[in-house]
Amino acid sequence: MHKTYLLDSLDELRRHLAQSHEIYQVVPQSDGARADFHWQQVGGGNWPDLVEQKPLQSPKSFFFAEQEPLYVFDGETFEEVLPTPMPFVLFGVKSCDLMAIHYQDIFFEEDPYYQARRKQGLLVGVDCVTPCEQGFCQLVNAGPSVRDDTADLVLHPLDGQRWMLVVLSAAGEQALHGLALEEASPEDLHQRWENISHCEQSFPRYPYILEGIDKLNQHAISDEFWQQLGIQCLGCSGCTTLCPTCSCFATRPIESASSQQTSVTQVRFWDSCLYESFQREASFHNPASEAGQRVKRFWYHKFSDDFVPEFGRYGCVGCGRCEATCPGVIGVHSVMKRIADDA
């Protein structure tokens, strides 16, 4: 049984965590016409409310940096450059994004750069009590409630402005040390399960997603279909950038010269399997020269049974961001609907 506590407000918890951690939270950010929600450092006694909206960007870059140095060459030797972030808390991560972090934890298990960041991060999840727009986390076992092995602490909104705090890991328990908290009652626990089950039942059914996954795994989708979709893909990499489980990268050197010497830093940066040059070899042989092959690759990586043995689940966590960002019609809903109807 997990320890569960009650909080009258989130401030006391954040104040406590802030003594030893930097705190990041999703805050609204409006750039003129449209409002978005982004991860940002918060603090200084001014704690913003937890927003219900899912942020445009998942917290992927906290652990798998958009660009980072790998090593430096000074003319004679190569020195590894590992990141050294301060301990930090991601406060209020949605269940789907937590599942994506869990997925990346497995993928990057042996990656020293990812792990150097990851060991500094404490994950405070939050259960969703209403389905988000285009989300289908419940179909891929990623939400709407936080899974037991994906966070350190979980928040759940109860009635009367109160919150329930669930401790899921030893790191979570350790982080609460020194904070006197009242334990939650069986009624509060009951309320959590009621809320979650109500939320699960309020999701639209999206039967075409399950049908699409099934067809994909039966290999029942024609190459012509993928080719058609490939032609519609602009190769903009919006989906791969926003998808919380996408993790492809490329490397390149950056030279810097000081008065004494020139040094070279090898950096890695996010890449996209949808780019034409992704697999192009120096000889110009390109095993993925067709746009259709590349789009097919993306969707297989998210939904093929072939990847399940390694990760215990599909690559998609149901956040719906690909749909929200694609300027064409290549998000998960559009693609799966078309597969179900006519692939």
Partner 1 sequence: MLNLTPVPIKIVDCYDDGENTRHYQFAIQETEQHLSPWLKAESGQFFMLCLPGVGEAPFTFTTLPNAQGDFRALVRRMGSVTDALFQCGVGDIIGARGPFGRGWPMERLLNQRILIVGGGCGIAPLASVINQLIDSQQFIQLEVVYAARNQAALMLNPERARWQHLIPIFNVVEDMAGLSDGEFYPGTATGILPKVLHTFGEQPDTVLLAGPEAMQTAAAEYLVAYGIDPKSIFLSIERRMHCAVGLCGHCYLNEKYVCSHGPTFSWAELLQYDIAC
Ligand X SMILES: Cc1cc2nc3c(=O)[nH]c(=O)nc-3n(C[C@H](O)[C@H](O)[C@H](O)COP(=O)(O)OP(=O)(O)OC[C@H]3O[C@@H](n4cnc5c(N)ncnc54)[C@H](O)[C@@H]3O)c2cc1C
Q: Among residues 133, 187, 282, 285, which is the contact residue for ligand X, using CB under 6 A?
A: 282
- Scan residues 271-330 and list those touching partner 1 (CB under 8 A): 271, 273, 278-283, 285, 287-288, 293, 297, 300, 304, 306-307, 310
For ligand X, the closer of residues 275 and 307 by Cβ is: 275
Chain position carrying tokens 């497995």? 106
59-96: buried (b, 16+ CB within 10 Å) or exposed (e) per residue? bbbbbbbeebbbebeeeeeeeeeeeeeeebbbbbbbbb
For partner 1, the closer of residues 50 and 116 by Cβ is: 116
Query: With contacts defined by CB under 6 A, how many residues of the chain interact with ligand SF4?
Result: 24
Kind and range of the H or E run holding 230: helix 223-232
Instruction: Give the CA angle between residues 230, 310, 200 to the nearest 5°.
Output: 75
**106 is a site residue for partner 1 (CB under 8 A):** no
**205 is a site residue for partner 1 (CB under 8 A):** no
CA distance linking residue 149 with residue 315, whole number of Å = 17
Single out the segment in contact with partner 1 by CB under 8 A; choices: 49-57, 110-118, 175-183, 230-238: 110-118
CA distance linking residue 144 with residue 242, whole number of Å = 19
Single out the segment in contact with ligand SF4 by CB under 6 A; choices: 88-96, 164-172, 223-231, 279-287: 88-96
Q: Among residues 280, 290, 307, 313, which is the contact residue for ligand X, using CB under 6 A?
A: 280
- Rg of the chain over Cα atoms, rounded to whole angstroms, equals 22
Q: Other CB atoms closer than 10 Å to residue 188's CB: what's the count?
A: 18
Binding residues for partner 1 (CB under 8 A): 70-71, 73, 75-80, 107-108, 110-112, 115, 247-253, 255, 264, 266, 268, 271, 273, 278-283, 285, 287-288, 293, 297, 300, 304, 306-307, 310
